[in-house]
Structure formats: structure tokens, C-alpha cells
Amino acid sequence: MYVDALSFLEDEREAWEPFEALGGLTDADLERPMPQDGPCHGWSGRDLAAHLVAWQQVALQAARELALGDDSPTIARTDAEWDASGGDAINEAIRAEWRALPLDEVRRRLATVPGELRGYLTVVPEIRWVKNPKRLQFFMSQTLDHYPEHRPELDAILAAARG
């Protein structure tokens, strides 16, 4: 695990970097549905961006709370919703919500949320997240542990865009 915030933040930045390529896709490439039987399971680049950035937004809200105090209602609520509804239902709700957003807003969030999350984590006292195993695991699950799970989708989307 991590013993300091800087190490986590450097690793998170490096792990996120390949996904920034989604922002460089054309609208058509970002909206292209991928085959259901492939690594994307029918998701488009927009869907992948939505999925990853929505979970970063959850982490961002938790970081905002932990920057101001010892507790994060967001972490407690997210854990309870996950236990009650399951990941598939939550992820499908995220997908539907982001499908209703203008593509420019999806692009804006893709470009800003990751950096904003890193920025907030720099001001959260380490004792509230890096040195708290449960909270560190929460932030890992929204970022560093999450990104590699979706690298096959990213690679397929980028390959389709290249033709």
C-alpha cells in the first residue's frame, strides 16, 4: 500500500494518462458503440469515460468532505448503495445519466475531474486517507485499482478509432 500521498498521486496520474486519449477522439469515435461480444461489452468511448469519471467524481466528493473533516458521508452512502443495489445497477444508472449529458459536458468532465480529484487529495490530511486503510482502499477502488480493469476497453476503442 501507500505510506504517503505523493506516491499515490504520482501513480494515479501515470495510470490515468492513457485514458486521456478518450478526450482526443472525434465525436463519432467517442459515440461509436463497440461490439457486445468484445472487451467493451457494447460500451462506447463515451460510456467508458462516463463510467471512470463518474467514479472519480464520487472519490472527489469524498475528498472534499475529508478535506474539511474526519468523516465522509459519501463513502458511507456509496458503500451502502453498492451493497443494496449491486454494481451492475449502479453502473447502468451512471451510463444512463451520462448518456443524457451533452457530449461537450462529458468532455469537460473527462478533462477536469481527474485533476480536481488529485488537487483535493493533496489537501486532505494523510491520516484521513493514506494512513487509513479502509479509506485508502476506497480511493484505490475508484482509481488505481479501477483503471487496469478497463484498459482492454480503452485499447479496443482507440483501435477502432484508428481504423
**Mean local confidence (pLDDT), 50-70:** 98
Q: What phi-psi label fits residue 66: left (phi over 0), alpha (psi between -120 and 50 degrees) or beta?
A: alpha
Q: What integer pLDDT is reported at residue 37 of this predicted model?
A: 95
Per-residue pLDDT tens digits for 114-132 = 999 999 999 999 999 999 9
> Is the distance from CB of 126 to CB of 3 less than 8 angstroms?
no
Q: What integer pLDDT is reported at residue 45 of this predicted model?
A: 98
- Is 63 buried (19+), middle (13-18) or exposed (0-12) by CB count in 10 A? buried
Domains located in the chain, CATH noted: 5-162 (1.20.120)
Eight-state DSSP code of residue 38: S
